[in-house]
Amino acid sequence: MPEGIIVKALSGYYYVKPLREGKISPEDEIIQCRARGIFKKKGLSPLVGDNVIYSLTENGEGMVDEINPRDSELIRPPVANVSLAVLLFSVREPDLNLQLLDKFLVHIEHAGLDTIIVLTKQDLADEDGEAIVHVKKLYEQIGYEVLVTSSRTGSGSEEVRKRLSGIISVFAGQSGVGKSSLLNRIVPGLSLETSEISMRLGRGRHTTRHVELMDIGEGGYVADTPGFSQLDFLELGVEELSSCFREFTPYAADCKFRGCTHLHEPGCRVIEAWEAGEIEDSRYEHYKLFFNEMKDKKRRY
């Protein structure tokens, strides 16, 4: 039976691109498929990015018969087999929001994906670019790859495109930061709808309505997803939070108490590292903020 990859899911239909020898076949047409009822009974739902076995039906459409094992699965956005998360945050319009960036990083770390941070709208930065230099240094010290782009000038776009070749990646980040504009730069002729920033609200309209894989060439596929203004922590246990802060890991194993929350315990190596300047103030403050937010949510639910 033929295999394919789901490149779009919309209104109960799954759009499958045929695979030949494990690779997407550019010359084959996308097949509009329904999913077998057995998935619903098993509590399963096909996702964009799924490698599936399908069959053709009499009306020229298809039926998704099996879902092959997934390498990864994201809840929000709902996409499978992603190996890289690309977090886009603008330098200006909207202003860089490190709290939201750290919240995204927590969720991506929990999902077990590699991450690159892409700072967009370099052309709107202050003349000396001090904010970019500071943020780039901060996150590179933690171990994240940081790229800087401008869709207006094209700066950094080719670097991003090369980084995404040969893999499925997911674009995520604050609304209005230029996800569609960057994709339009990476893929000539794509012409995704873009939206001007609402200066009154300080954010952009959501221009992307569903998850869809886009072919960017050289075997790379990007899941462009609806913009997010907030994430919740309901799928993440509070005891898992500290492991999602990479720079805590070398110190946490040496804390005096097992199950240390890194908030107030004596002999906490994470607190000591923060006090010594080895952990950035903003990162530790966001950890405490997220910890308390998670505790409040657990109490309410």
Q: What is the pLDDT of residue 230?
A: 47
Q: Please say which residue of 197, 224, 251 terminates a domain.
A: 224
Torsion-angle region of residue 289: left (phi > 0), alpha (psi -120 to 50) or beta?
A: alpha
Residues 220 and 265 in one domain: no
User: What is the widest separation between alpha-carbon atoms in the chain?
Assistant: 70
Residues 144 and 89 in one domain: yes
180 is in an annotated binding site: yes
Residues 126 and 32 in one domain: no
Residues 59 and 133 in one domain: no
Rounded-to-integer distance, Cα 172 and Cα 224, Å: 8
**Residue 149 lies inside a defined structural domain of this protein:** yes
255 is in an annotated binding site: yes
Q: What is the CATH number of the domain that holds 36?
A: 2.40.50.140
Tens of pLDDT, residue by residue, the chain (301 residues): 899 999 999 989 999 999 887 776 667 789 999 999 999 888 889 999 999 999 999 888 999 999 999 988 877 668 899 889 899 998 887 788 899 999 999 988 988 889 999 998 888 776 657 888 999 999 999 999 999 998 788 888 889 989 998 888 988 877 777 777 888 888 776 666 554 433 333 334 444 457 788 888 777 888 765 544 446 666 788 899 999 999 999 999 999 999 999 999 999 999 999 999 999 999 999 999 999 999 887 666 5
Residues 100 and 187 in one domain: yes
**Residue 231 lies inside a defined structural domain of this protein:** no
Residues 95 and 216 in one domain: yes
Residues 199 and 247 in one domain: no
Q: What is the pLDDT of residue 284?
A: 98
Rounded-to-integer distance, Cα 70 and Cα 111, Å: 13
Q: Please say which residue of 46, 69, 92 terminates a domain.
A: 69
123 is in an annotated binding site: yes
Q: What is the pLDDT of residue 25?
A: 65
Q: Please say which residue of 36, 69, 102 terminates a domain.
A: 69
244 is in an annotated binding site: no
Residues 204 and 144 in one domain: yes
**Residue 230 lies inside a defined structural domain of this protein:** no
Q: How many domains does the chain have?
A: 3
Residues 252 and 123 in one domain: no
181 is in an annotated binding site: yes
Structure tokens at 118: 């892409």
174 is in an annotated binding site: yes
**Residue 287 lies inside a defined structural domain of this protein:** yes
**Residue 173 lies inside a defined structural domain of this protein:** yes
Rounded-to-integer distance, Cα 186 and Cα 192, Å: 11
Q: What is the pLDDT of residue 200?
A: 33
260 is in an annotated binding site: yes
72 is in an annotated binding site: no
Residues 219 and 174 in one domain: yes
| Residues 26, 32, 36, 41, CA torsion sign | positive
Give the contacts of 123 (CB within 8 A, at least 6 positions apart).
150, 152, 153, 155
Count, residues in the chain = 301
177 is in an annotated binding site: yes
175 is in an annotated binding site: yes
Q: What is the CATH number of the domain that holds 286?
A: 1.10.40.50
Q: What is the pLDDT of residue 207?
A: 43
Could you tell me the CA-to-CA distances from 244 to 18, 64, 287, 290 in Å, in that order? Answer: 36, 35, 10, 11
Structure tokens at 255: 């804390």
**Residue 232 lies inside a defined structural domain of this protein:** no
Domain region containing 40: 3-69
33 is in an annotated binding site: no
Q: What is the pLDDT of residue 194?
A: 53
Rounded-to-integer distance, Cα 301 and Cα 83, Å: 32
Whether 52 contacts 68, CB under 8 Å: yes
**Residue 168 lies inside a defined structural domain of this protein:** yes
Q: What is the CATH number of the domain that holds 102?
A: 3.40.50.300
Rg (C-alpha) for the chain, rounded Å, is: 21
Q: What is the pLDDT of residue 231?
A: 63
43 is in an annotated binding site: no
Residues 60 and 13 in one domain: yes
**Residue 56 lies inside a defined structural domain of this protein:** yes
173 is in an annotated binding site: yes
Residues 94 and 182 in one domain: yes
